[in-house]
């Protein structure tokens, strides 16, 4: 893995923090996808669907609430986002990322929540109980119980599924990092670092 050249005038940032900045601070998906700040003919050129909006102000209030800011359509376009945020969003939309990759990255960017990987989880089963607190029994005939019923509290399949999703999220982050390193000359403000999170934290040695 060849490290991108670190430039002193740029800030170091993990790829996780860059994704969060792109979608929480820059609102890249809302601004880019909706063509906020673009004139109708510019939206046409970019293939962005738009329709005429009534002048009662309702749509403007809704849009301001979604963006968390008021877009000034006069003079210099205040809807212009940071070029690094636009680059991140455009890369995530490319064929290098699957639909699941995109969903995981954008959801993480908007919420800051790492996919759950169930730390310390182990397969677990336990006896099943009735509402009155008594064990649910299995009967060989009408009178003689031969075993108690059990219920699955945590299955290995569920644990494996959660950890596959976490691993795909991590791989998508690292894929984004690699794409940004390949396009290092286009990145203006950041030295993008590898993911700060471990790829398989459940395999850490303890003690």
**Taking Cα atoms as reference points, which of 58, 27, 52 lies closest to residue 40?**
52
pLDDT tens by residue, 8-65: 678 999 999 999 999 999 999 988 875 444 444 444 444 444 445 444 555 555 555 5
Using the predicted structure, report yes or no on whether residue 72 has a pLDDT greater than 60. no
**Taking Cα atoms as reference points, which of 20, 7, 194 lies closest to residue 106?**
20
Average pLDDT of span 130-158: 85
Domain ranges of the chain: 11-117+161-203
Sign of the Cα torsion 134, 140, 146, 149 reads: negative
Using the predicted structure, report yes or no on whether residue 92 has a pLDDT greater than 60. yes
pTM of the model: 0.70
Q: Average pLDDT, whole number, for the chain?
A: 81
Instruction: Assign residue 11 a region (left: φ > 0; alpha: ψ between -120 and 50; beta: otherwise).
Output: beta
- Between CA 67 and CA 193, with CA 29 as vertex, the angle to 5 degrees is 110
**Cβ(22)–Cβ(29) under 8 Å?**
no
**Cβ(154)–Cβ(123) under 8 Å?**
yes
Using the predicted structure, report yes or no on whether residue 109 has a pLDDT greater than 90. yes
| CB neighbours of residue 20 within 10 Å | 18
């Amino acid at each position: 893995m060849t490290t991108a050249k670190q430039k002193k005038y740029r800030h170091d940032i993990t790829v996780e923090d860059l994704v969060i900045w792109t979608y929480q601070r820059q609102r890249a998906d809302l601004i880019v996808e909706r063509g906020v700040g673009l004139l109708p003919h510019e939206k046409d050129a970019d293939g962005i669907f738009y329709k005429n909006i009534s002048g009662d102000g309702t749509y403007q209030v809704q849009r301001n609430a979604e963006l968390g800011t008021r877009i000034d359509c006069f003079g210099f376009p205040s809807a212009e986002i940071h070029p690094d945020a636009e680059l991140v969003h455009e890369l995530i939309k490319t064929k290098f990322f699957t639909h699941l990759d995109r969903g995981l990255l954008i959801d993480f960017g908007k919420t800051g929540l790492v996919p759950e990987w169930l730390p310390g989880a182990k397969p677990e089963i336990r006896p099943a109980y009735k509402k009155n607190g008594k064990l649910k029994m299995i009967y060989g005939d009408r009178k003689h119980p031969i075993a108690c019923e059990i219920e699955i509290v945590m299955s290995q399949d569920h644990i494996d599924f959660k950890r596959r999703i976490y691993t795909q999220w991590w791989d998508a982050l690292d894929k984004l990092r690699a794409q940004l390193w390949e396009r290092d000359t286009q990145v203006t403000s950041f030295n993008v670092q590898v993911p700060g999170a471990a790829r398989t934290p459940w395999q850490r040695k303890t003690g």
